[in-house]
Amino acid sequence: MRFRRKVRSPAVLSHEFVIQNHADTAYSLVMSLLMGVVIKGPDKYAIMFVAVQYNVTYTTDDNSEQFHFYDYGPKDIATVVFYMLVAINLHAVIQEYILDKINRCLHLSKPKHSKFNESGQLVFFYLFSFVWGASILNTEEFMMIPTSLWRDYPHSRMLFQVKFFYVCQIAYWFHAVLELYFQKIQKEDIPRQLCYICLYIAHISGAYILNLHRLGLILMVPHYLVELIFHASRLVYLSDENNQKGFTIWALLFVMVRLLTLTLSVLTFGFGLARVENPEFSIADGNFNVLPVRIGCLGAVCLTQAWMMWKFIKFQLKKWREHVKNQIPRKKINNTKNKRTK
């Protein structure tokens, strides 16, 4: 009679313990903060994590109507931390109840398994962000009026849904950094993933801090649509390598969105903001419309778009070479079959 070996639980606070229990730990912290909101005493600290901060209310001259806007400040760090914990929980739920079950059915290899998990998580995020961002643009007027991107700058006041959108975006991408450790991402994949995660954090945080949230929102929505199509196509490709139609649609939209991003960026930084330039650089007023900041922002956008196009060209060349390699054996087989029939 064989006795089963007892599986030793990892030591408390060891790497394995943290990785295995990170979702439960994040869930406990989230529930503790939510409970703190309804308890007197801790509520004034817990509310800083849960609720969106820096509410600014304007009233009309006759006090008949109120308008609620939001600014940003250091307390937003606490809010980002809270929603980062929420993102960790959602990541674990999607992984366990959806992606892992699909992986068991597909029986993918380890490299494909890692790519499937990465694309699966990003498909959910990009879909949610695209729908949310598109709904905000649908209710805002600056979607149809390009001059509103720079008119009346600085745009230091945000509607609730705009600020909450940015807070959730920043929280998600910070959570993605932690997931590189929690999900035991392979060492060769870490530089690639860390690179695009850091680019997201830098660009979204920059648009948020520099009061360029209008431009950032307009550029994010089509970009997320393109990324959604790419990762959805990669999921289909990993399950059936003969199905590559989605990559063609992605390639066309990818180039169009890069051109749109460059056009709007040059129009905003090179022409729009330059004409309404206010030389008084003021952090307190949220005015960053000075030449060095504009050049830095435009340079960052152009360099990022150039890098993305370079990666895109390399990806297309790699696919073309693989296609040529696959066609050569097929031609040889067809030629031998034709000779035999003759």
Q: For 153-187, what is each residue's pLDDT tens digit?
A: 888 889 999 999 999 999 999 999 999 999 888 88
Domain shared by 315 and 196, yes or no: yes
pLDDT at 142 over 80: no
Domain shared by 43 and 184, yes or no: no
In a domain? residue 297: yes
Domain shared by 312 and 244, yes or no: yes
Domain shared by 38 and 117, yes or no: no
pLDDT at 229 over 70: yes
Reported as a single tens digit per residue, the pLDDT across 271-325 is: 999 888 676 788 888 899 999 999 999 999 999 999 999 999 998 888 788 767 7
Per-residue pLDDT band for 4 (boundaries 50, 70, 90) equals very low
In a domain? residue 79: no
In a domain? residue 268: yes
Q: Are 126 and 224 in contact (CB under 8 A)?
A: yes
Domain count of the fold of the chain: 2
Containing structural domain, residue 26: 16-47
How many CA within 13 A on the CB side of residue 144? Answer: 4
- Give me Rg for the CA atoms of the chain: 25
In a domain? residue 171: yes
Helix (H, G, I), strand (E, B) or coil at 161: helix
In a domain? residue 28: yes
pLDDT at 218: 94
**Alpha carbons 164 and 69: distance in angstroms, whole number:** 12
pLDDT at 212: 94
**Alpha carbons 128 and 312: distance in angstroms, whole number:** 24
Residue that wins the pLDDT comparison between 77 and 321: 77
Packing angle of the helix pair 76-94, 15-37 (nearest 10 deg): 120
Residue where a domain terminates, one of 26, 47, 68: 47
Domain shared by 35 and 115, yes or no: no
What mean pLDDT is predicted for residues 256-281?
Answer: 89
Per-residue pLDDT band for 3 (boundaries 50, 70, 90) equals very low
Strands (DSSP E) found in 142-242: none
Q: How far is CA 251 from the centre of its chain?
A: 19
In a domain? residue 226: yes
Q: Which of 241, 246, 227 is nearest to 109 (CA)?
A: 241
Mean pLDDT for the chain overall: 87
In a domain? residue 246: yes
Close Cβ partners of 137 (under 8 Å, ≥ 6 residues apart): 143, 217, 218, 221
Domain shared by 40 and 133, yes or no: no
Residue that wins the pLDDT comparison between 10 and 182: 182
Domain shared by 296 and 224, yes or no: yes
| Percent with pLDDT over 70 in the chain | 89
In a domain? residue 237: yes
Domain shared by 275 and 137, yes or no: yes
Q: What burial class does residue 317 get, using C-beta atoms within 10 Å of its C-beta: 0-12 exposed, 13-18 middle, 19+ buried?
A: exposed
**Alpha carbons 119 and 231: distance in angstroms, whole number:** 5
